[in-house]
Amino acid sequence: MAEFRKLCRLLMMAMVIIGSAKGANGRRYVVGADQGWDTGFNYSEWTSGKAFFVGDSLYFDYFREDHNVVQVDFEGFTTCNITNSIATYTAGRSTVELDREGTFYFVCSLGDHCLEGQRLQVSVLAKPAIPPSPDFLGPSSALNQNVPSSAASLSFAFCFLQFNSFISPPVLVLVIGWFSYLLL
């Protein structure tokens, strides 16, 4: 029984760690999704509808023989001139951290790829404030997308019920109701 209790504690700690790590690391965007970093793709269409935040990252997937990733300024982006480049990536799989607010510009400097549309402009917003704890907020639809929180709730409910058999039925119903609400 003590082992089980330990397991429960570990499970919950893992959930908390996963949850906070997810928040700290931000999202990772595969540029161009399945198409990757290539010519013949509309990158402004790809970014539309997406919100990029400080802490997110861009993952460029391309053939290093055919393409590269050059971070440039606005002028470099509009003219496809990389004279004032900020950084150059040639590994074939390149991750760029969006580590500040503002606009990031990327082009491919090989051939006429940039002029043909292989360029990307990403506007990065300040990291959104950490939402208040669900305990203070009450149930909300935003919780539905928070998988670590839901998983933590489930494991908490499970562990809680295992060790509180003395709990009175009305409270039990309330607890189960609350967790089902969180998870649905």
* Site residues, Cu ion (CB under 5 A): 67, 108, 110, 113, 118
The nearest distance, CB 60 to Cu ion, in angstroms, is 10
Shorter beta-carbon distance to Cu ion: residue 110 or 175: 110
Give 141's DSSP letter.
G
Among candidates 140, 135, 90, which has minimal Cα distance to 110? 90
| Minimum distance from residue 129 beta carbon to Cu ion (Å) | 38
Structure tokens at 4: 């089980």
Give the CA angle between residues 8, 179, 149 to the nearest 5°: 65
Of 114 and 152, the one with the shorter C-beta distance to Cu ion is 114
Least CB distance to Cu ion at residue 113 (A): 3
Beta strands in the chain (DSSP E): 28-30, 52-53, 57-61, 69-72, 87-89, 93-97, 102-107, 119-125
- 119 vs 153, beta carbon nearer Cu ion: 119
Shortest Cβ 11–Cu ion spacing (Å): 46
Nearer to Cu ion, 118 or 153 (CB): 118
